[in-house]
């Protein structure tokens, strides 16, 4: 999905995504929407040394991704792939509860 982010909000988003810790970095990409044409966008990519194939996402994060895919009408095979992604419980109960509230809304 593509979202328009106000320039004033990019700095806050960078902090939330951990740019200041080296957790992520921005990468500018070209996107080819299904409606045609090309547009520029940025995405966050894991910083150097941050990718570990043995790490699993938290279950609430996987579930948010599934809910977003369903809400935006992504193909069923993609939703099923997301649903089948192994995940682990979040040891931070407050963070997990806050994320679950997003799913409940």
pLDDT digit string, tens, across residues 31-79: 998 888 899 999 999 888 888 888 899 999 999 999 999 999 999 999 9
What does the pLDDT look like over 24-33, one tens digit per residue? 889 999 999 8
> Which domain covers residue 99, as residue numbers?
56-105
Shared-domain flag, residues 37 and 60: no
Q: How far apart are CA 7 and CA 23, in angstroms?
A: 21
pTM of the model: 0.78
Residue 37 and residue 62 share a domain: no
Q: What confidence category does residue 86 fall into, taking pLDDT thresholds of 50, 70 and 90?
A: very high
Strand partners, 39: 31
Which two structure tokens, joined as six digits, stand for 62? 């996987």
Q: Which residue has the tokens 């792939």?
A: 81
Please state, in angstroms and rounded to a whole number, the distance separating the CA atoms of residues 66 and 42: 22
Query: What whole-number percentage of the chain has pLDDT above 90?
Result: 61
Question: Is there a single domain that holds both residue 93 and residue 47?
Answer: no
* Domain total of the chain: 2
């Amino acid at each position: 999905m593509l979202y328009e982010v106000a320039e004033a909000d990019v700095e806050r988003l960078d902090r939330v995504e951990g740019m200041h810790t080296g957790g992520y970095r921005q990468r500018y990409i070209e996107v080819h929407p299904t409606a045609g044409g090309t547009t520029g966008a940025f995405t966050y990519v894991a910083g150097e040394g941050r990718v570990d194939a043995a790490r699993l996402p938290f279950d609430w994060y996987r579930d948010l991704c599934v809910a977003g895919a369903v809400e935006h009408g992504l193909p069923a095979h993609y939703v099923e792939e997301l649903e089948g992604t192994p995940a682990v419980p979040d040891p931070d109960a407050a963070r997990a509860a806050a994320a679950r509230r997003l799913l409940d809304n």
